[in-house]
Amino acid sequence: MALDSTAVKRIARLARIAVPEAELAPLAKELSGILTWVEQLDAVDTAGVEPMTSVVAVTLPMREDAVTDGGVPDEVLANAPEPARGFFTVPKVVE
Amino acid sequence: MTALTQLTIAEARAGLAARKFSARELAEAHVKAVEQIRPLNAFLTETPQHALKMAGASDKRLAKGEAGLLEGIPLAIKDLFCTEGVRTTAASNILGNFIPPYESTVTANLWRAGAVMLGKTNLDEFAMGSSNMTSAFGPVESPWRRKGDNRKLVPGGSSGGSAAAVAARAALGAVGTDTGGSIRQPGALSGIIGMKPTYGRCSRWGVVAFASSLDQPGPMTRTVRDCAILLRAMAGHDPKDSTSVPRPVPDYERALTGDIRGLRVGIPKEYRIDGMPAEIEALWRQGIGWMKAAGCRMRDISLPHTKYALPAYYIVAPAEASSNLARYDGVRYGLRVAGENLIDMYEKTRGAGFGAEVRRRVLIGTYVLSAGYYDAYYIKAQKVRARIAEDFEQAYREVDLILTPATPGPAFAIGEKMDDPIAMYLNDVFTVPVNLSGLPGISVPAGLTADGLPLGLQLIGRAFDEETLLRAADVLERAAGFKAMPAMMAG
């Protein structure tokens, strides 16, 4: 699959990564190279094969639905870029 | 007496038990060694105060006869493991000055066993790379040099700082993580042992996530015995990681009997790749000879989907990475770059915080998971992955172990292979299938190139049979008798 700058811009938007305009074209070339290379997988016959989701055959364990941690708001916020009054903050999202 | 930094973990353990030196003396020698190797840029954070304090506590426990498995042993920790109160970067700008308020399970296990923390080692950003060149804090320089050539070489990656620290005698051992070869490849390039345990053997809790179905912590040491000692302390079931497996952890050291007679060892023909250097081919042949001489029965086997492992990996790993790295949004921790609105802030933060290789992989991952492409790329890759795992399952019906080269070549110069991402990805051609299948693998330094650089052989075992793997690696290590030393060493 060959990607152009418009496609890369769309993917970057989905990934929420700002990509400078001048880097779109070279990035499109790099990503196209990788995608073309991975397309060799089309040659593998995978008819009737279940997609693998886990390498170890284990049933995920159940546990009590109980609070095991918490009560440490200061620790939770210790690394926040701009905490305020015990909360994380984001730019205004509603007018 | 041998310099304290030249000891193996087993020798240091014996020396401490016999009171030949104190944990404090051992720690002081290593703190100095860490300072001496600063030009290599192997450590991102040095923690000498922690080291001396922990060593003091070890001396007290030693005096009381309460020594743990790793009492007083100075270790280096890849800066992907969260360490309580000590900056953890994943070698990325996006984590900023992140100081975890908690400790990863693997490191907590090490400290409980009495180990001493020397510091946090450099790596490829978010463990994405095979050279340590993608670190936001600059590359790591290998302590090795080609004969008659002073160009700086890479230590391999992504656990490059850990590999360089152990090879340069600044730590008795280190922990790394291996998603596609990130322990075994730098181990092979740096002339040390690197082991990826079976997926689920060591807890991933508190390890900065890259690709969750592939990531696995493991030991990096100078001998197979040390690897066995370190793995035992790291491993174990952890209720906080639902993929960690509730199996008892054996005493791996006891598995090192030196007797591998009758083991059936497979040689996969698909690992004889085009353009493989003659030196690698010769080393592999030599390895086959050593195993045969030790009484193993060698079998030619086929792992027919080998060539599809790398392309499958470069769909699955970026897909998981794009999902895992969505958490870096400038809200709860790490870097924040102000924006006009919420989405603008996300985009600017992530645009500024991620390096080129991480950005590339997050974009690929986003694309292969996006509507309309999910089946063609991601589901297809997961099906191919199932085929690759089946290949190994088939092979293990007739063999107990598989022997391959660890890497397709020796260490390369800093700056080489940077223009073509795929050329860099090829470094992991022999290690990636093992991660995709969840199996344990170990690289053992086994020889030198004509210009004096280390080369490794890889043994691949059955799931959760690290004992057979280590037993064979121990015999291989003795047969190879690798004694070469890097150009730069502390002490």
Please list every residue in chain B whose beta carbon sits closer than 8 Å to the beta carbon of residue A3. Answer: 367
**Pairing state of beta strands B264-268 and B401-405?**
parallel
Nearest C-alpha of chain A: how many angstroms from B425?
10
**B386 shares contact with chain A (CB less than 8 Å):** yes
B135 belongs to the catalytic site: no
pLDDT for B383: 97
A79 and B343: CB-CB below 8 Å?
no
Question: What separation in angstroms does the CA of B62 have from each of B1, B65, B76, B445?
Answer: 21, 5, 21, 33
Whether B334 has a pLDDT exceeding 70, the answer reads yes
Q: Are B122 and B182 in contact (CB under 8 A)?
A: no
What is the helix, strand, coil percentage profile of chain B, to 5?
A: 40, 15, 45
Mean of pLDDT values over A66-73? 91
Locate the chain A residue with the closest alpha carbon to B354: A17
Q: For B79-97, what is each residue's pLDDT tens digit? A: 999 999 999 999 999 998 9
The radius of gyration computed from the CA coordinates of chain B, to the nearest angstrom, equals 21
Give the CA dihedral B146, B150, B151, B155, nearest 10 degrees: 50
Determine the Cα–Cα distance for residues B15 and B181; give it in Å rounded to an integer: 33
Whether A9 has a pLDDT exceeding 60, the answer reads yes
Mean of pLDDT values over B155-167? 98
Instruction: Write out the two tokens for B385.
Output: 């992955």
Instruction: Write out the two tokens for B165.
Output: 């620290």
Each domain of chain B, given as residue ranges in start order, spans 1-491
Question: Is the torsion defined by CA of B422, B426, B428, B433 positive or negative?
Answer: positive
Q: Is B269 left (phi over 0), alpha (psi -120 to 50) or beta?
A: alpha
- Name the pLDDT band for A54 (thresholds 50, 70, 90): confident
Q: Which of B331, B342, B426 to mutate to test the interface with A (most CBs of A within 10 A)?
A: B331
Q: Are B299 and B386 in contact (CB under 8 A)?
A: no
Instruction: Write out the two tokens for B371.
Output: 């509507």
Determine the Cα–Cα distance for residues B30 and B476; give it in Å rounded to an integer: 29
Share of chain B above pLDDT 90, in %: 96
Question: What separation in angstroms does the CA of B280 have from each of B73, B185, B274, B293?
Answer: 34, 14, 12, 20
B438 and A38: CB-CB below 8 Å?
no
What is the helix, strand, coil percentage profile of chain A, to 5?
A: 40, 0, 60
Q: For B459-475, what is each residue's pLDDT tens digit? A: 999 999 999 999 999 99
B158 belongs to the catalytic site: yes
Nearest CB among A27, A44, A79 relative to B99 is that of A79
Mean pLDDT, chain B, integer: 97
Assess whether the previous peptide bond of B158 is cis (omega < 30° from 0).
yes
Q: Give B401's strand partners.
A: B265
Q: Which of B131, B135, B162, B182 is catalytic?
A: B182
pLDDT for B417: 76
CA B325 to chain centre: 21
Question: By CB neighbour count within 10 A (0-12 exposed, 13-18 middle, 19+ buried), where does B246 fall?
Answer: exposed
Question: What separation in angstroms does the CA of B370 have from each of A13, A15, B98, B323, B378?
Answer: 12, 10, 31, 12, 9
- Name the pLDDT band for B260 (thresholds 50, 70, 90): very high
pLDDT for B271: 96
Determine the Cα–Cα distance for residues B145 and B154; give it in Å rounded to an integer: 10
Q: Which of B94, B213, B366 to mutate to test the interface with A (most CBs of A within 10 A)?
A: B366
Determine the Cα–Cα distance for residues B235 and B201; give it in Å rounded to an integer: 6
- Name the pLDDT band for A61 (thresholds 50, 70, 90): confident
A53 and B213: CB-CB below 8 Å?
yes
Q: Are A51 and B384 in contact (CB under 8 A)?
A: no
Whether A92 has a pLDDT exceeding 70, the answer reads yes
Locate the chain A residue with the closest alpha carbon to B311: A38
Please list every residue in chain B whose beta carbon sits closer than 8 Å to the beta carbon of residue A11. Answer: 363, 366-367, 370
pLDDT for B2: 67
Nearest C-alpha of chain B: how many angstroms from A68?
11
Residue by residue, DSSP assigns B23-75 as: HHHHHHHHHHHHHHTGGGT-EEEE-HHHHHHHHHHHHHHHHTT---TTTT-EE
Nearest CB among A34, A53, A76 relative to B382 is that of A53
Q: For B110-154, what is each residue's pLDDT tens digit? A: 999 999 999 999 999 999 999 999 999 999 999 999 999 999 999
Please list every residue in chain B whose beta carbon sits closer than 8 Å to the beta carbon of residue A69. Answer: none
pLDDT for B448: 98
Q: For B12-57, what is each residue's pLDDT tens digit? A: 999 999 999 999 999 999 999 999 999 999 999 999 999 999 999 9
- Name the pLDDT band for B198 (thresholds 50, 70, 90): very high
Determine the Cα–Cα distance for residues B378 and B312; give it in Å rounded to an integer: 9
Q: For B13-22, what is each residue's pLDDT tens digit? A: 999 999 999 9
**Residues contacting residue B24 through CB under 8 Å, at least 6 positions apart:** B52, B55, B56, B59
Nearest C-alpha of chain A: how many angstroms from B366?
6
Please list every residue in chain B whose beta carbon sits closer than 8 Å to the beta carbon of residue A56. Answer: 198-200, 243, 245, 438, 463
Nearest CB among A30, A50, A52 relative to B360 is that of A30
Q: What is the ipTM of this complex?
A: 0.96
For residue B269, give the 3-state DSSP assignment. helix
Mean of pLDDT values over A13-29? 97
Nearest C-alpha of chain B: how many angstroms from A62?
9
Size of interface A-B (CB pairs under 8 A): 166
Question: According to the CATH classification, is domain B1-491 in 3.90.1300.10?
Answer: yes
Q: Which of B242, B313, B380 to mutate to test the interface with A (most CBs of A within 10 A)?
A: B380
Q: Which of A13, A19, A24, A41 to mutate to test the interface with B (most CBs of B within 10 A)?
A: A41
CA B185 to chain centre: 8
Among the listed residues B378, B354, B384, the one whose alpha carbon sits nearest the alpha carbon of residue B366: B378
Locate the chain A residue with the closest alpha carbon to B308: A41
Other residues' Cβ atoms within 10 Å of the Cβ of residue A57: 7
B386 and A49: CB-CB below 8 Å?
yes
Q: For B408-462, what is each residue's pLDDT tens digit? A: 999 999 988 777 888 888 889 999 999 999 999 999 999 999 999 999 999 999 9
Q: What is the pTM of this model?
A: 0.97
B322 belongs to the catalytic site: no
